[in-house]
Amino acid sequence: MEIIKNDKTYDVVIVGSGAGGGMATKILTDNGLTVALMEAGPFFDPANPDQQLHLKWPYESPRRGRGSTRAFGDYHASYGDWSLDGEPYKMKEDTKFSWWRSRMLGGRTNHWGRISLRFGPNDFKRKSIDGLGDDWPIGYDDLKPYYDKVDKYIGVSGSKENIYNEPDGFFLPPAKPRLHELYYKKGAEKAGVKVIPSRLSIVTKRINNERGVCYYCGNCGRSCGVYADFSASSCLVFPAQRNAQGRLDLYVNSMVREVAVDKNGKPNGIIYINKEDNKEYRINAKVVVLAASACESARILLNSKSTYHENGLGNSSNMVGKYLHDSTGADRMAFIPDLMNRKTYNEDGLGNMHLYSPWWLDNKKLDFPRGYHIEIAGGLGAPMYGFGFDYNSLNKFFGLEVGGYGDRVREEVKKYYGSTIYFAGRGESVPNVNNYCEIDPDTKDKYGIPVLRFNYKWSDYERKQAKHMNETFEKIVHNIGGHMLWDNEGPNYGLKNPGEIIHEVGTTRMGSDPKTSVVNEFEQLHDAKNVFVVDGGPFVSQADKNPTWTILALSWRTSEYIVQELKKQNI
């Protein structure tokens, strides 16, 4: 196929417009560089009335919000989910891996939970603590200045708690806890579980003139039309466009296939398929920044084969794709009789929990090595068809008839609504070289690009951690007189399939030794000094925290390094 060339040469081409790519776009254009930003999906602006999803009523959907083409419902701000038409992925043997792909400007940051946690000092040095995996080549002190910058620029609500491995930041006021959260706090603290205000990248106090303030509609998963929550498009790409004065070109619906190299094997741009005409094009650039997501960036590198890079670009160590790992997850729900017959009032609040529990124990005293945090949900949020359950079934706890129709059922729904609490444990898995993604030798997508094949299995470390999650949930529920609605039996104890928490990282791991890692401490390929990876791929370990805030901080740090190295003419 003929590759159509663009005569223009950019300083930087960035692949992916999510957290890492959006931050790189903002910092690099602010420093005067010319940038081409590649996005595999369409343009998206949550404030555009034609695309706006928040503040829509259930009756505006033909299925009352239940999705037919979106896994999490008609109003969920993701173009794409566990499967994409014509873009399969494969699995080896008995692997069960779920890969979420959000094809749109801003990527997953349009619909994520906005849980914005810094990694702590221990999270960078896990091998030194428990002997498993590897330490990062950097520590918390290296990243702290960039966490500070991210807090101040984007905004995060929370409270100072002085917990060593849950570092405090620069916080906006937290939201007050709702009734179900106060019940959770009561039961958790009685069980010895720490409870603090959530740390969410939702603006609760005005920080600039471009972004609004949260008005408690609870629709963050739909992406905020007043930009009060963090999405890479509204908070990073749009400001970059306004300030770049023509130095930023946005290429949407552009599926990057590989990193291009010159006759000497040096990367000098990317090759992509324009999804609108299905033709191949080339973008020339001095520097290539990959931010397509941990697995997609690994796929691009592995498909970037040439006589100089026969095993794929950056893969002389054979480490690209290796050490893939996701957060662990196990969920339960409980019925709390004290919360029956609630007075109905507006209790929407922020688009996530107002309280949560950071890891509170010492793993040296437990039979698993890494910790987890607890997220909760409940209350009187607006119901949507397809996202609830049969409240009438709670009659079984009182020996009453389950089922029926008419006024009695309607009365029972009102009686029980708001009387349940959902628990989600989200924890740290131990990275394993045998968990990986690779190029499938037989399958290509509809664009002709070879697809990924996954190999992933949980270990007893993760299964024992999930068992502990369930035991903790049960203690908390017992303390507030509740009843569990289902059990998670062994041997997996409800442990979700790898990939289902949508926190996959580690495929282009950071390290000082080029033989055992893909990038250095500045996320720069060991094998190609002008190629960088700024998504979750460079993570050496996951921590028991959501990865987005660390992706943002690392990308800011890497972007400043790129500017310095270009000035020195080192790349």
Q: What is the pLDDT of residues 197-238, one digit of tens each?
A: 999 999 999 999 999 999 998 888 889 999 999 999 999 999
Work out the average pLDDT over 528-542. 98
Supply the pLDDT for residue 365. Answer: 96
Supply the pLDDT for residue 385. Answer: 62
**Is the pLDDT score of 1 beyond 60?**
no
Among 292-306, 405-419, 478-492, 543-557, name the one with the lowest average pLDDT.
405-419
pLDDT top residue among 479 and 49: 479
Are residues 339 and 419 in contact, defined by beta-carbon separation less than 8 angstroms? Answer: yes
From the CB of residue 227, how many other CB atoms can be counted at a distance below 10 Å? Answer: 21
Supply the pLDDT for residue 387. Answer: 66
* Contacts for 237 with CB less than 8 Å, ≥ 6 apart: 17, 22, 25, 26, 37, 105, 106, 250
**Is the pLDDT score of 518 beyond 70?**
yes
Supply the pLDDT for residue 384. Answer: 65
Residue 386 pLDDT grade (very low, low, confident, very high; cuts 50, 70, 90): low
Q: For residues 122 and 241, what is the distance between their CA atoms, to the nearest angstrom?
A: 38
pLDDT top residue among 323 and 343: 323
Supply the pLDDT for residue 391. Answer: 82
Q: Which residue has the tokens 């196990």?
A: 330
Work out the average pLDDT over 360-385. 92
Q: For residues 516 and 320, what is the distance between their CA atoms, to the nearest angstrom?
A: 10
Write the pLDDT tens digit of every residue in 4-45.
Answer: 878 899 999 999 999 999 999 999 999 999 999 999 999 999
Residue 405 pLDDT grade (very low, low, confident, very high; cuts 50, 70, 90): confident
Supply the pLDDT for residue 69. Answer: 78
Are residues 561 and 522 in contact, defined by beta-carbon separation less than 8 angstroms? Answer: yes
Q: Which of 195, 198, 196 is nearest to 480 (CA)?
A: 195
* Contacts for 112 with CB less than 8 Å, ≥ 6 apart: 502, 546, 548
| Token representation of residue 462 | 């993760």
Residue 450 pLDDT grade (very low, low, confident, very high; cuts 50, 70, 90): very high
Return the SS3 of 493. Answer: coil
List the strands of the sheet with 450-455, edge to edge. Answer: 90-91, 450-455, 436-444
Work out the average pLDDT over 323-340. 97
Residue 252 pLDDT grade (very low, low, confident, very high; cuts 50, 70, 90): very high
Longest dimension (CA), the chain: 78
Q: Which of 512, 516, 506 is nearest to 551 (CA)?
A: 506
Q: Which of 418, 427, 415, 412 is nearest to 467 (CA)?
A: 427
| Residue 319, amino acid | M
Average pLDDT over the chain reads 95
Q: How far is CA 337 from CA 314, 341, 363, 418, in A?
A: 57, 9, 34, 10
Supply the pLDDT for residue 72. Answer: 83
Supply the pLDDT for residue 147. Answer: 98
* Contacts for 94 with CB less than 8 Å, ≥ 6 apart: 457
Work out the average pLDDT over 75-87. 91
Q: Which residue has the tokens 């460079």?
A: 538
Supply the pLDDT for residue 502. Answer: 97
Are residues 198 and 355 in contact, defined by beta-carbon separation less than 8 angstroms? Answer: yes
Angle (CA) 264-266-269 rounded to 5° is 125
Supply the pLDDT for residue 83. Answer: 93
Return the SS3 of 563. Answer: helix
pLDDT top residue among 350 and 67: 350
